[in-house]
Structure 1
Amino acid sequence: MRTRTLLGLLTALVVSIPLGSAAAAQAAAQPPSLLPLSVANNSGRAEQVFLYVLGTDLASGKLGYVNAAGAFTPWSGGSNPPSPAPDVAIAGPGNGSTTTIQLPRGISGRMYMSFGQKLTFLLAQDGGLVQPAPWAANDPNRDVLFDWSEFTYNDAGLWLNSSQVDMFSVPHAVSVTGERGTSTEGQLKPGGRDAILDALANEPGDWAKLIHTRADGTRLRALAPRLAMEGADGFDPNYLDGYLTDTWNTYKSTDLTVVPFQFQPNLKYTGRTGGDGVLRFKDSTGKEVAAFPQPATKDVFGCDGKLAAPNDDVVGPLARTLCAALHRSTLGFLHTQPTYDGGEFYTRPVTDHYSKAVHANMVDGKAYGFAFDDVGNFESLVFDGVPSSVTITLTSF
């Protein structure tokens, strides 16, 4: 779950409890052991909906599933090659109705929702779960209409997002109610699903290849370009290469300033590309702290490889900033990063048109179009330290 990289930062921002009333305040602020999670079906579709709550128990580290009552069960069995996992589907709501299940505190994972057909999960011999991978030609879920939300629920609260990092398929909004009131993200504009798919279908180049259409004519999903590149659908593996070369060359003669944390405006790093083609960053003392060879297209779309972001205080934040700016096609043009002006994003012909289309069709412009879309807080994430309820709404399409 890529968005779990937010957990440390968000936890650190939770307001601390005054020492004088620690015991009473801590008891009052404890998130419930079982959190009501409602799935509201406003999709307008007649198919049966199936729900799956799968994830990792944070105390034991074991993978497993949650039933409707909120009981976590670790997976057992498995084989090599992987064999079918037990059927742990929860009957979801019909169109116009709501199903409420319980989410136990101490779990991080996904809630899948599928329409008209159950999903196939497999168990490996080591107890690992093989999740749906519809970008693979032989995946049994390739022709199933499904999607998921990602969450972490622990003693510090609930983080929940509608993720498009891997694909966009079923439009759904996420909402949490708690001590901060109610917040909602991921709401598409009316007709937004078709608008996203149409934008990709009409974009010159390989962008139409992101769309997978079932034999009955149903447009099931649009894959993120990194997965279309890796999978059966195909995508130009050199799409960004010219832009990347121009950008790394730009910083041979121009300083790149990165201010990775908005709440620390005086913490700055300066980057320059050397004769060896490596973009090196120095801190305010002149000490070199990070170096980035020119990445390939796949490194950018995956935010990994030469742009891998370790969980540290320097290299990781720099890598995240670079990757976000490359997706948004601001790097090489705006020389202080990150930029917080969304009007500057995706304005050039070579850009991440997938993320552009998703953001353009969100009511508030926020989405998880790629792994580090949280740079600048442009992600579709809700959080509450003491949630009382959470809702995932399947919106009309």
Structure 2
Amino acid sequence: MHVKNKVFSLVAAAVTAAAGLTALATAAEAVPATIPLTITNNSGRGDAIYIYNLGTELSTGRQGWADANGGFHPWPAGGNPPTAAPDASIAGPAQGQSKTIQMPKFSGRVYFSYGQKLVFKVTTGGLVQPAVQNPSDPNVNILFNWSEYTLNDSGLWLNSTQVDFVSAPYNVGVRPVSGATKTTGKLKPGGYNAFYNSLRSQSGGWANLIRTRSDGTIVRALAPGHGIEAGALPANVLSDYVNRVWTKYSSSTLTVTPFGNQPNLKYFGRVSGNTMNFTNSAGQVVTSFQKPDSDSIFGCYKLLDAPNDLVRGPISRTLCAGYNRSTLLSNPNQPDANNSGFYQDGVTNQYSKKIHAQMVDGKAYGFAFDDVGAHESLVHDGNPAQAYITLDPFS
């Protein structure tokens, strides 16, 4: 799970998954207090690289940053308006070089920026993250990206995320104590340019998601929810598909089987007026959804809110995946396991479609619940020895 506008949200999925895994697994060798993270610069660019390891210290719940040795530094008390955060940057590797730092037991983000340090501030509620859909954000013209991770006693979860934007390309990996290294998030040769070219040629406002600074450098493509927020993408971009879903399930049933390991647990959706009601096998209504707008679908929130429970949340995340992948009309049994049918409708999440199409393994985090059916760019190991982030070419 990667929840829109929720800081360091990967921990929720990691802790949930870990609870299930550890309940079934035999005791594993203890995960050390830190593991090495090697950042390799294969970008082909000559810019200075700045690394930041920011997050929540899992042993205390405090927010802060880690230095290159994995030492924790809590953020100072912030202000209102926000005050400047301490410089948490770590000098990154030059082109063709690598830099190894220590990754502590955090739920956090590893940021990397090209040519300029990022601007972070601290408010009374904690760290203020960059919000580049806001044209006045101080980081809006900086080329940067981030990877999310959770390292805890049950292992490492490390992702390559496109939930907020597509920008500087990179891939991630984990090498277990025993076994082969697992990697994900790597673009196909030419995939960086192919993504932007495809988005640029897509009608309907999708090209407006691309952001370019004054020197001509593409800095990012905003995710469609942020595009709506910024006025770049029409707010009704998915309305036609939603209307067709509403029509279909006014006279037929949408069946949701939210847990792959519980095939007999099913919920049944039918539309009545502006509401889609879900019943259990006994015919009792267990939750209801109002007709969602495009932003709710892209962000998997608001009218498609997914609380961390065992009923509404799992149904909502399944609906979110079905809307973004446009599989709700083609398959009344969700989630759809066959990715050959994803994004085939003329009205779909074109941004997610295009980034998935350019990945070597077909996996990406194109929207918040792209992990439905395990189509997300995430590596995990319960006994990690080494983590990797590789900065890839802009080609």
- Determine which of 3, 12, 17 is the counterpart of 1:10: 17
Partner of 2:97: 97
Residue 181 of structure 1 aligns to a residue whose secondary structure is coil
1:55 and 1:64 in contact (8 A); partners too: yes
The reply on whether 1:349 has 2:346 as its aligned counterpart is yes
Partner of 1:307: 304
What code does the residue aligned with 1:238 have? N
Partner of 2:253: 255
Q: 5+ unaligned residues in a row in structure 1: which ranges?
A: 19-24
Stretch deviating more after TM superposition (159-168 or 283-292)? 283-292
Task: Label 1:167 to 1:17 Cα distance change in 2 as closer, same or farther (>3 A).
Answer: closer
- Distance in 1 separating the partners of 2:139 and 2:284: 50
List per-residue Cα deviations over 1:332-351 (Å, max 9, x = no partner).
Answer: 22100001111100111110
Query: 1:50-89 maps to which residues of 2 (within 5 A)?
Result: 50-89=50-89
- Distance in 2 separating the partners of 1:116 and 1:88: 16
List per-residue Cα deviations over 1:116-140 (Å, max 9, x = no partner).
Answer: 110000111x251111111111111
Partner of 1:145: 143
Q: TM-score, normalised by structure 2?
A: 0.95
2:37 and 2:386 in contact (8 A); partners too: yes
- Determine which of 263, 274, 278 is the counterpart of 1:277: 274
CA shift, 1:185, in A, is 0.7
CA-atom RMSD, angstroms?
A: 1.3
Query: 1:109-128 maps to which residues of 2 (within 5 A)?
Result: 109-124=108-123, 126=124, 128=126
The reply on whether 1:41 has 2:49 as its aligned counterpart is no
1:76 and 1:127 in contact (8 A); partners too: no
Partner of 1:31: 31
CA shift, 1:299, in A, is 0.7
Stretch deviating more after TM superposition (174-183 or 346-355)? 174-183
The reply on whether 1:234 has 2:232 as its aligned counterpart is yes
- Distance in 2 separating the partners of 1:236 and 1:362: 27
Partner of 1:195: 194
CA shift, 1:64, in A, is 0.3
Percent of paired sites with the same residue? 49
What code does the residue aligned with 2:30 have? Q
Partner of 1:21: none
Q: TM-score, normalised by structure 1?
A: 0.94
- Distance in 2 separating the partners of 1:62 and 1:8: 17
Residue 99 of structure 2 aligns to a residue whose secondary structure is strand
Partner of 1:317: 314
Partner of 1:389: 386
List per-residue Cα deviations over 1:177-221 (Å, max 9, x = no partner).
Answer: 114532111011011111111111100011011000011111110
Q: How many residues align?
A: 385
Stretch deviating more after TM superposition (262-271 or 220-229)? 262-271
1:2 and 1:371 in contact (8 A); partners too: no
Task: Label 1:133 to 1:15 Cα distance change in 2 as closer, same or farther (>3 A).
Answer: same
The reply on whether 1:268 has 2:266 as its aligned counterpart is yes
- Distance in 2 separating the partners of 1:4 and 1:341: 27
Partner of 2:204: 205
Partner of 1:135: 133
CA shift, 1:280, in A, is 0.8
2:10 and 2:150 in contact (8 A); partners too: no
- Distance in 2 separating the partners of 1:177 and 1:289: 42
